[in-house]
Structure 1
Amino acid sequence: MSDVSDVDDVGDVSDAANPALPALPALVSPVSVTAGAVLHSADFILPRLLASGRDRVVLYAGVQINGTPHLGTNVTQTAAFLLAQAARERFGVRVLLRFGALDNSPYEVRTCPETGSLYERSFGYVLGEARVGELVGRHYGGLFDELSAATGVPYEVLTYTEQQAGRAFREEFLTSLGLMDTLRRTLAPSTGTVPVNFPCPRCGWAQKHGEQTELLSAGAREALFAAVCLEHGKYLVDVAPGTDAFIGLTTLHRNLLKERVAARDDALPVIVKGADWAPGCRLLDEAFLSYQGALPPPRVFTPVVLSDSGAKLSKTLIRQGTADLSEGTEPWMLDASAWPGSQREYARLLLGLVGRMLGEPRHFERGYTTREVARLIGRRLPGPSGGSG
């Protein structure tokens, strides 16, 4: 492992060579609790990297396919590319960025008229592999290619359908069933209920909360479940490394298994998530301790983009019209497809913006309102202050 060196600057959203362009406003942040201990946010992964002795790092992040991404999503993804670049250049390691595409998001939902139970069919089931690939390419392909070219960081995209079909994932699922007496109070501490659902093999509808899904038998190599379809009644599901049953899991259970699979790699896994994930990751870290000798992976939490109320940007709130956005918030901040320029220009703006945040932990360990983002990139939104958010 090489000595630590400074990371090359990927550039800013202004052009220093063109004196006609005004300098960008200063980024003002409170003092971080890590001040003096961490000089660059990539250094958060250094202790585990040194302890592991590994010379390769794989960073994991996610992509949603249930709608066009907003600025907050793209900030996290850009941060993942820049963190990977910084790890390579500061620590002399090989890097790869793996994105998990959540094609298990509900495409359509129905309510059972007799029980009131919700049933859903996923994007992956309804659209199929080819059309899901088209969606991922439409929402992220051009941007990711530009970010990869700018940082020199290679990336891969794997859908959840592909992930859960893998032998390692199914082995981890079966192991988690054997530990469920402990895991249920870390993955669902309030209720102790960690549901599993399986789509009906005939129509693809799955009971969202798995109320009527029953574990009949479980072992190290196979588990047998019974589930109920609102149209076709009861059906049996056999889960083993060689079967093709689709495994639907809660968010925390799913992420635990994905991280357990990542830990099997010969590279150091680093989890990159928005800062709103921090409370959930406390539970994931507790869940890891249920496995003898296991350590949670190193995590880096990226800045979130906020509305004026302090709530993070959310596709749901944006669709409902309850996001409390700053007056004049530009459409592309809410829908990346509304960006008026080229993908290269958008990537350049993101690299400049997130690069400034990443360079010093006090700028990285915080959120930014859309008003503050507009100020930082040299635009003005109408409002009471136009200043720091």
Structure 2
Amino acid sequence: MSSPVPHDPEPPIPAALVSPVNVTAGAVEHSVDVVRPRLRARPSRRVALYAGVQINGAPHLGTDVMQTAAFLLARSARDRLGVRPALRFGALDNAPHDTRVCPRTGTTYTRSYHHALGPARIEELVKRFYGGLFDALTALTGVPYTVETYTRQQRTPAFREEFLASLGQWERLRWTLAPSSGQVPVSVPCPECGWLQKSGEHTELLDADGRRARFAALCLDHGRYETDVRPDGQGWLGLSTLHRNLVKERLADRDEALPVVVKGADWAAGCRLLDEAFLCFPDSRPPARVFTPVVLSASGAKLSKSLMREGGAALSPDTPPWMLDATRWPGTPEGYAALLHRLVSLMLSEPRHFERGYTTSEIARLIAGPG
């Protein structure tokens, strides 16, 4: 007996959306207009929008709202600013896949998705979680996209050069990336097994210059080892979130296309520290950034995999399963993309609707339409 063909729900009817007046009222007509000053300062016919793709589990609605917003912002950049847009998604295969704790010292060791699964299975995960949605959004918006894993990106000479440049500013930089402690771990995996110390407690920078950095670290199974990090791609880098984003944003600025970073609004506080970090480099400035709406639980906390795993998301009873796990959408990828397209288009209809958060209950109301 064949399985029934999934069908998509009826298209939602746009509901009334009420948002407070925000601080950009009167200055910004459309959220993509914040890119215009950068285009005037650095004229370009092309704009590249950068966003991240987590592969450590199925995406929730908040993740897919951000990515849909990236497509719609790219289209708006084309239509309002007269540029040729492209979307570049970074697939984060550096997230921990396995965790171990040393019984003697309590040190946490992790193995990344890349080291645990390998490139072929990483590609399968990206395709499973995002391939259908991204292809459908490209069909709806006419905006092309590419996906590059962190592993592939961190092997490039340009990424390594930016990392080595950050070590050259380290004494000042580490206090901007970690102002409470000045401790910013750099982790290098054991060449035999791929495990690394999560917080780099026993990782030591032996020497560094613009051409190479040599690290010594400790493996739980194989003892002490040394690793060279060079522009030729040797070695694998495990960087903290802010350090990694600093390197990636400086790398993006090398492109001929004007870089625009798209992040959820929960990133705003972290970007204050990134902006401070940019000041450590002469004649350097952070890229244009656009912050997208976050999806919130009933408690006001944004949806996150960790909260859902720990049972602390405080979700309202009207939250459908697919909002927590996009793979549980009852219809087709094209239907899901169409729903997100309509929903995020409504958010983008005015900056005050875009520059805010939405509970799962409010999104359920918007999808249901009036009445």
Distance 1:296-1:78 versus aligned 2 partners, 3 A rule: same
Residue identity matched to 1:376: L
Whether 1:334 aligns to 2:320 is no
Matches within 5 A, 1:1-389: 23-378=13-368
Alpha-carbon separation, structure 2, partners of 1:306 and 1:46: 30
Letter of the 1:185 partner, please give it: W
Deviations 1:328-371 (A, max 9, x none): 31000000011111111110100000011112110001000000
- Give the partner amino acid of 2:77: A
4+ residue runs over 3 A deviation: none
Length, aligned pairs only: 363
Residue identity opposite 1:270 in structure 2: V
- Cα distance in 2, alignment partners of residues 48 and 92 from structure 1: 14
CA contact (8 A) 2:96 2:111 kept: yes
Report the Cα distance in structure 1 between the residues aligned to 2:369 and 2:90, rounded to whole angstroms: 33
Shift of 1:314: 0.8
CA deviation after TM superposition for structure 1 residue 208, in Å:
0.6
Q: Distance in 2 between matches of 1:205 and 1:271?
A: 31
Contact 1:187–1:252 at 8 Å: present in 2 too? yes
User: How many angstroms does 1:243 deviate by?
Assistant: 4.1
Q: What secondary structure is seen at the aligned counterpart in 2 of 1:377?
A: helix
Q: Show the counterpart of 1:3.
A: none
Once the two structures are superposed, residues 102-153 of structure 1 have per-residue CA deviations (whole angstroms, 9 ceiling, x without a partner) of: 0000000000111110000010111100100000000000000000111000
CA RMSD between the two structures: 1.4
Q: Which amino acid aligns with 2:342?
A: G
Query: What does the per-residue CA deviation read over 1:206-229, in whole Å, with 9 as the maximum and x for residues that have no partner?
Result: 011001011111101111111110
Q: Is the 8 A contact 1:41 1:359 kept in 2?
A: no
* Superposed CA offset, 1:241-286 (max 9, x none): 1242000000000000001110000110000000000000000011
Q: Secondary structure at the match of 2:285?
A: coil
Deviation at 1:379, TM superposition (A): 6.3
User: Would you say the 8 A contact 1:14–1:24 is kept in 2?
Assistant: no
- Counterpart-to-counterpart distance in 2, 1:319 and 1:195: 26
**1:383 corresponds to:** none
- Is the Cα–Cα contact under 8 Å of residues 54 and 268 in structure 1 kept in the other structure? yes
TM-score, normalised on structure 2? 0.96
Q: CA deviation at 1:14?
A: 7.4
The Cα of 1:49 is off from its aligned counterpart by: 1.1
Which residue does the alignment assign to 2:5?
none
Q: TM-score, normalising length from structure 1? A: 0.91
Percent identity at matched positions? 65
In the TM superposition, residue 24 of structure 1 has moved relative to its aligned partner by 2.9
